[in-house]
A and B are shown apart, each in its own frame.
Chain A
């Protein structure tokens, strides 16, 4: 008998048994709404003049990937250690977390990742193009010039930087005092730019002739000379011996001079220079008084700096304008005119004198800091030139008889700040690269394709065709965050020197934070609009239609089964998905 006939008879089951899965039901056909991954733009990154990918930086910090976080910043800004200290951080002002409890301490984390890299002597791994033909001259080694050279070098261009002073850095080197920006921090950042092959020629003042002759060696010149001409007060006595300009005073102090000051010292003005001069004077023994013709809220200086100055003991006299400076046995006699607000239009109030109301004060020294302008006419973008192309933070001029000129930094930027200077250097590099590759007419459209959100901030990562190009420019609003996934937690408190310690000298005021604090702060970030791989979308899918994948997203939606319920989209804590008509 055959084997088959011997086998026992399989009994018919008493109840029917299933033996296949449901996978042959393609329930995707039910769908009329379709979820998809759709990374968007965080408000902080759009507000950052340098367009840093902050949502991603904070995600990397929270994951302990400090080097990657630092490199992500370096994609967009060569100065994280500087900006983490001195940038006025408009990013934090628009942080979505502000609506929940407190804004993320973005600048503190920026400084933390940079300081960590500095401490361990880490070199960044950042892609660079091979060297190509055109050479670019950069006039001025302030943040705008150095940023232009940095981005151009990464794009493969040879750059020579010409600097009038003995050391590079511009205002970062000679203006901002040590208690806010230690010199080794600046040198470390500049060293990295040099290591890209950028030559910085110090003690090399460039004149207008250079623009005429540069064509032999350079295809373009970036002009980032800053605003270094002191603006006159236009009052009698302002040129008396010992009445000093603010910027040169700061320069002296940064060069190591420690002039002995005592008694009341008047500082005239309301900008960053006035505030830093007053704080330096305080450290040198004076009792500084800032005399400002408008009110505190009208001062162009950054609010945080004003607050620190007042805390340290600087006095502020609002609504007083100087009329005259005269010699006096104890120094100078300062005649002041009382002012009043005439109109509130615009960013700063309009003021007018109150007739008959004046006062006098005797001070040991007067420091003028009412503002600065371009030193020479050729440094400024020509008005109304047909070949002038104005971008957000730069102005470009094409000439028939010489290299292309790009004006940047304080000479052309939307605002006078370090981050805007960096933004202009980046914009210049994108514009010049586009010009060299695709011609003049391509500049505007190619640059505007790199906007972060609605702009004007630009992303070099986007210019280079990186992952960030896929971001939706839609800026995520607080209402679009699923706050069920976040717990209240206070913003980190920046450790600082005590007021008494600060005014003893020029030591850095803001102290380091620990890695533990940095991690905790970064974890507070919503990571608005970007996927941090939390996996909620996959977890909650009732149809098991979200699958792991080795694509950059990390997962994909299987539309064979996705019924379009939209649970994944609503449960994404950070609005990195979208639900739309199928």
Chain B
């Protein structure tokens, strides 16, 4: 397969992301699609570190490092400043982790998109507070070990469905994307760039360190999350028009779970239960997209 992804990079070598960092790959793809007329807001997260210690920056676009909870608000301000200067060309992007999006930054995000601020909000999702040492977030999936859900206290709550929360704001564009599907990811970023108003991208970005997986499996596991319907690829326009971008081939969730240290305590029973939850979520998504179950080949 030839991947039609733009050649130019707006990121440098020498960044301090861990080996196999999915968030670094996600940023590479995002900037390939956006190009240099981009201003970025990064609230506290791994990427605050990856981007480089002062006076270094690994990105070739301007970045404003901001407080953890302010991603939506700061981007709104930058957009207003650019508008005042008459710069309509530059795309303003907030790039935040799942903690900064699902949890502490949710208020600022919700406020900004409710006002339909003209910016792209990207959440790169590594399913925990990784920068501070793997604490659980409301994005951490059911079944996962983190340092705050250790041993038998593993997380028994479902992952928040952040895309649906944003869709409920009826924003012009919300989509999921994965580092294992670069073409789809780049297409969605370009599409988002061409839309005015609030756009939300939820990018699945594996974390070898926090997930206890071999670094070389970073892409493979991200791909499996899609193949198993754990992380479906879809997009929603204006809060109503759903399109599913990838139809699964019937992989079982256990294949995905058994490769990861953060799930190693789960029993067969737990995995069956998780399979049911995944099926349920998938069927719900199919209904929203108006796709019949038989056409989608759901895993029984």
A interface residue numbers (CB < 8 A to B): 16-27, 30-31, 482, 484-486, 534-536, 539-540, 542-545, 558, 560-561, 563-567, 569-571, 573, 579
Cβ of B57 under 8 Å from chain A: yes
Option from B9, B58, B216, B220 in Cβ contact (under 8 Å) with A579: B216
User: How far is the CB of A537 from the nearest CB of chain B, in Å?
Assistant: 11
Secondary structure class of chain B's binding surface, majority of residues = loop
Q: CA A535 – CA B32 in complex, angstroms?
A: 15
A156 to B179, CA, bound (A): 54
Chain A to chain B contacts (Cβ below 8 Å), 8 pairs: A26-B14, A486-B1, A535-B3, A536-B3, A561-B14, A566-B216, A569-B216, A579-B216
Given contacts A534-B2, A566-B214, contact A23 B55 (CB under 8 A): no
A544 contacts which of B11, B22, B223 (Cβ < 8 Å)? B11
Q: Does B277 contact A (CB under 8 A)?
A: no
Residue of B nearest to A566 (CB): B216
In chain B, positions 41-56 with a C-beta closer than 8 Å to chain A are 52, 54-56
B92 at the interface (CB under 8 A from A): no
Task: Check if B219 sits within 8 Å of A540, measured CB to CB.
Answer: yes
Residues of chain A within 8 A (CB-CB) of B24 are 542-543
Q: Give the CA-CA distance A485 to B19 in the complex, in Å.
A: 23
A543 partner residues in chain B, CB cutoff 8 A: 13, 15, 17, 24
**B182 CB within 8 Å of chain A:** yes
Contact partner, A573, options B1, B19, B215, Cβ 8 Å: B1
Q: Cβ of B19 and Cβ of A30 under 8 Å apart?
A: yes
Interface string of B193-228 (1 = CB under 8 A from A): 000000000000000100000111111100100010
List chain A residues, Cβ under 8 A from B56: 18, 20-22, 24-25
Q: How many A-B residue pairs have CB under 8 A?
A: 117
Q: Which of A26, A31, A535, A543 has the most CB of B within 10 A?
A: A543
Asked if B14 and A23 make an inter-chain contact with CB atoms under 8 angstroms apart, the answer reads yes
Q: Which residue of B lies closest to A31 (CB)?
A: B19
Q: Mark B15-35, 1 if CB is under 8 A from A, else 0.
A: 111111110110010000000
Q: Which of A16, A25, A566 contacts B54 (CB 8 A)?
A: A16
CB distance from A528 to the nearest CB of B (A): 16
Would you call A21 and B16 a contact (CB within 8 A)?
A: no
Closest-by-CB residue of A relative to B208 is A565
Report yes or no: B14 in contact with A570, Cβ–Cβ below 8 A.
no
* B293: interface (CB < 8 Å): no
- By a CB distance below 8 angstroms, the chain A residues around B82 are none
Measured between alpha carbons, how far is A30 from B17 in the docked complex, in Å? 11
Do A23 and B13 have beta carbons less than 8 Å apart?
yes
List, in ascending order, chain B residues with CB within 8 A of A20's CB.
Answer: 55-57
**Residues in A neighbouring B57, C-beta threshold 8 A:** 18, 20-22
**Which of these, A21, A570, A573, contacts B12 with CB under 8 Å?**
A21
Residue in B closest to A22 when the chains form the complex, CB atoms: B14
The complex places the Cα of A182 from the Cα of B19 at a distance, in Å, of: 59
Q: Are A25 and B216 in contact (CB under 8 A)?
A: no
Complex Cα distance, B2 from A573, in Å, reads 11
Report the bound CA distance from A571 to B1 in whole Å: 12
Tell me if A23 and B223 are in contact (CB < 8 A). Answer: no
**Cβ 8 A contact of B20, one of A21, A536, A542, A573:** A542
Contact B1 A485 (CB under 8 A): yes
Query: Hey, which chain B residues are within 8 Å of A27, CB to CB?
Result: 13-16
Bound-state CA distance A27–B20 (Å) is 13
The answer on a CB contact under 8 Å between B14 and A540 is no
Q: How far is the CA of A30 from the CA of B25 in the complex (A)?
A: 18
A542: contacting residue among B17, B214, B223, CB under 8 A: B17
Least CB distance from B269 to A in Å reads 29
Across the interface, do A22 and B223 meet the contact criterion of CB distance under 8 Å?
no
Shortest beta-carbon distance from A335 to chain B in Å: 61
- Give complex CA distance A570, B179 in Å: 14
A564 vs B14: C-alpha distance when bound (angstroms): 13
**Further contacts, 16 of them, CB under 8 A, given A26-B14, A567-B216:** A19-B55, A21-B12, A21-B52, A21-B56, A24-B56, A27-B13, A30-B19, A484-B220, A535-B3, A539-B182, A540-B25, A542-B218, A543-B15, A543-B17, A567-B215, A570-B219
A25 to B216, CA, bound (A): 22
- Residue B80 interfacial (CB < 8 Å): no
Shortest distance in angstroms between A567's beta carbon and chain B's nearest beta carbon? 5
Bound form: Cα–Cα A21–B10 in Å: 11
Residue of B with least CB distance to A547: B13
Q: Within 8 Å CB of B58, what residues of A? A: 21-22
Q: How far apart are B148's CB and chain A's nearest CB, in angstroms?
A: 27
Given A539-B3, A542-B21, residue A561 in contact with residue B55 (CB < 8 A): no
Let me know if B218 and A567 touch, CB within 8 A: yes
* B165 at the binding interface (Cβ < 8 Å): no
> Is B215 touching A25 in the complex (CB atoms < 8 A)?
no
Question: How far apart sit A565 and B17, CA to CA, in the bound complex (Å)?
Answer: 11
Is A544 within 8 A of B13, CB to CB? yes
Contact residues in B for A16 (Cβ distance below 8 Å): 54-55
Question: Which partner residue on chain A sits nearest B24 by CB separation?
Answer: A542
Contacts of B219 in A (CB 8 A): 540, 567, 570-571
Contact of A566 among B5, B28, B215 (CB under 8 A): B215
Return the chain A residue nearest B26 by Cβ: A542
Structural contact, B13 and A561, CB atoms closer than 8 A? yes
Docked-complex contact A565 and B216, CB < 8 angstroms: yes
Q: How long is the Cα–Cα vector from A544 to B27 in the complex, in angstroms?
A: 12
**A35 → chain B closest CB, angstroms:** 9
Query: Cβ of A542: which chain B residues have Cβ within 8 Å of it?
Result: 17, 19-22, 24-25, 28, 218
Give the residues in chain B near A535, CB-CB below 8 Å: 2-3
Which residues of A lie under 8 Å from residue B54 when comparing CB positions? 16, 18
Contacts of A22 in B (CB 8 A): 12-16, 52, 56-58
Collect the chain A residues with CB atoms within 8 Å of residue B5's CB. 539
User: How far is it, in angstroms, between the C-alpha of A195 and the C-alpha of B253 when the chains are bound?
Assistant: 62
Query: Which B-chain residue is minimally distant from A33 (CB atoms)?
Result: B216
Q: A18 CA to B179 CA in the complex, in Å?
A: 28
Q: Are A25 and B15 in contact, CB atoms less than 8 angstroms apart?
A: yes
Q: How far is the CA of A80 from the CA of B148 in the complex (A)?
A: 66
Closest to B179 in A: A540
Given A22-B12, A23-B12, A564 and B25 touching (CB < 8 A)? no
Q: Say yes or no: A565-B14 contact (C-beta < 8 A), given A18-B55, A19-B55.
A: no
* A22 CA to B17 CA, complexed, in Å: 11
* Residues in B whose Cβ lies below 8 Å from that of A570: 216-217, 219-220
Minimum CB–CB distance for A547 against chain B, Å: 9
Query: Least Cβ distance of A63 to chain B in Å?
Result: 11
CA distance A396 to B90 in the complex (A): 76
Q: B14 touching A24 by the CB < 8 A rule?
A: yes
Contacts of B215 in A (CB 8 A): 564-567
Q: What's the Cα separation between A486 and B2 when bound, in Å?
A: 11
Which residues of B sit under 8 angstroms from A534, Cβ to Cβ? 1-3
Closest Cβ of chain B to A23, distance in Å, is: 5
Which residues does chain B contribute within 8 Å of A31, judged by CB atoms? 19
Max chain A C-beta neighbours (<10 A), residue from B12, B13, B52, B219: B13
Give, as a whole number of angstroms, the nearest-CB distance from B72 to chain A.
Answer: 20
Chain A residues, CB < 8 A from B9:
544
In the bound complex, CA of A20 to CA of B18 (Å): 21
Report the minimum CB–CB distance from A38 to chain B (whole Å). 15
CA distance A27 to B19 in the complex (A): 10
Contact A563 B19, CB 8 Å, known A18-B52, A544-B28, A573-B1: yes
Please, which residues of chain A bring their CB within 8 A of the CB of B2? Answer: 534-535
B20 touching A566 by the CB < 8 A rule?
A: yes
Closest 10 CB pairs of A and B: A566-B216, A565-B20, A22-B14, A565-B19, A561-B13, A25-B14, A565-B215, A542-B24, A18-B57, A563-B19
